[in-house]
Amino acid sequence: MGFQDVRGVLESVISLINEDNVWRFRNSINLIAAENVMSPLALKAYLSDFMFRYAEGKPFKRYYQGTRFIDELEVMAEKIIGSMINTTMVDLRPISGTVANASVFRVLAEPGDKAVIAPVQAGAHVSHTKFGTLGALGIRQVDLPYNEDEMNVDVDGAVKVIESVKPKFAVLGGSVYLFPHPVKELSEAVHSVGGKLVYDAAHVLGIIMGGSWRNPLDHGADVMTASTHKTFPGPQGGLIAFRDEGVYKAVGKTIFPWFVSNHHLHRIPATLITALEMKAFGEDYARQIVANAKTLAEELASLGFNVLGEKLGYTKSHQVLINVKDLGGGAWAAQRLEEANIIVNKNLLPIDPPEAVKDPSGVRLGVQEVTRIGMKQSEMKYIAELMYRILIKREDTRKIALEVVEFRKSYSRIHYCFDEKDSSKIITLLDILT
């Protein structure tokens, strides 16, 4: 490849990056429930010299030199996050929620042991299953029963399964769920047979920290795993928080060297700044997320969509689930919405068999990113109207895409965060918290 060819490829790379930046952040309505955007200040921290450095092991016990600054930042971040979820035991080294799950599962069970999980219908993530991390570790999956009316784990049936199976651990929380799982009831059952309860808070960490979702560590969970880039609007990464000191120490020795070598150090200061923003603004942010999700669900239902969870108030999280099977299916709906610059994901619903994953009945919506850029209830009603025009009235998606571009011009600033130029707020808050 000659110089001119290399230059041409480079220009293509830069062009694609710029086009994605404009389209995804400036011109589209992003309703992917697993995504968010960092604040300008957190992004500046992310793009730091730490991006190039290594720090294997735990803070102040590293296997590399030159780590004294990241050590201080990592300890500070863990303390501040812990203060918001009522624990002193937090580990930020997992580089994803799935790695966090793997590190915990490996400690709590040996190959051939059993774990009980919330079924896929009740929100289980693939890492909880025999098809993902659980299976890769050789741990045997046992599904808990599901209550279709409550859209949740069947408590009485689950207790019977736990007493019969005597699992090493149970997993609640996950990827697709509208209502809190029964942590207290099932933790008591799991503890009675000598097991532990793990709660996957990947999606709801931000609304837990903001006080709009129950903290599982206060209701019997021994361990909480999470992602740091969903309702918690930080960089992509993971964390683990503990109530059980023995598990904390064992998992700490397992993350490295089993699952992580260097843990992508530039995540740490960006996560710390995001935690400080959540400390300052998280309560308002979480409250608005839940209000927006509920408004979007109610408005979609009023326009004729089959929105799940009506009997229970549609949602208590950032997510909304719609059954679009009769309209054309989840794959068709997600594609058509994307053509109109509205980004969602197709999703299995409780009525779907696992093999329907490529064309399920549903789509999943998440409102945390649009909330982060300043949208409130009135905007949720407008988004519902756009979806009605796209999926029910079958209007021209190209025309609506132009309307979305115009609409998005009013929402280009990140909210619920510090002013990028006002470092004094950061300094003052750090002084208070440390």
* Inside any domain, residue 240: yes
pTM of the model: 0.94
Q: Does one domain contain both 110 and 256?
A: yes
Is residue 100 a contact partner of residue 225, using CB atoms and an 8 Å limit? yes
Answer whether 260's CB lies under 8 Å from 91's CB: no
174, 303: one domain: no
Which pLDDT band holds residue 420 (cuts at 50, 70, 90)? Answer: low
- 386: CB partners within 8 A, 6+ apart: 29, 340, 342, 400, 403, 404
For the chain, what is the mean pLDDT? 94
Helix (H) or strand (E) holding 40: helix 40-46
- Across the range 67-89, mean pLDDT stands at 97
Residues 386 and 260 in one domain: no
pLDDT band of 299, cuts 50, 70, 90 = very high
Domain range for 106: 44-277
d(CA 403, CA 386): 9
Based on the fold, state whether residues 258 and 132 are members of the same structural domain.
yes
Q: Where are the beta strands (DSSP E) in 243-325?
A: 306-307, 319-323
pLDDT digits (tens, 9 = 90+) for 116-147: 999 888 889 999 999 999 999 999 999 999 99
Other beta carbons less than 10 A from residue 7's beta carbon: 10
Looking at residue 432, what is its pLDDT? 44
298 & 395 share domain: yes
Query: What CA–CA distance (Å, rounded) separates 214 from 405?
Result: 37
Q: Is the pLDDT of residue 91 over 60?
A: yes
For residues 259 and 394, state if they share a domain: no
pLDDT of residue 13: 87
Domain membership flag for residue 18: no
Residue 103: name the closest of 295, 256, 237, 329 by CA. 256
Same domain flag for 177 and 260: yes
Q: Is the pLDDT of residue 434 over 50?
A: no
In a domain, 164, yes or no: yes
CATH number, domain with residue 347: 3.90.1150.10
Q: Is 15 exposed, middle or buried (0-12, 13-18, 19+ CB in 10 A)?
A: exposed
Number of domains forming the structure of the chain: 2
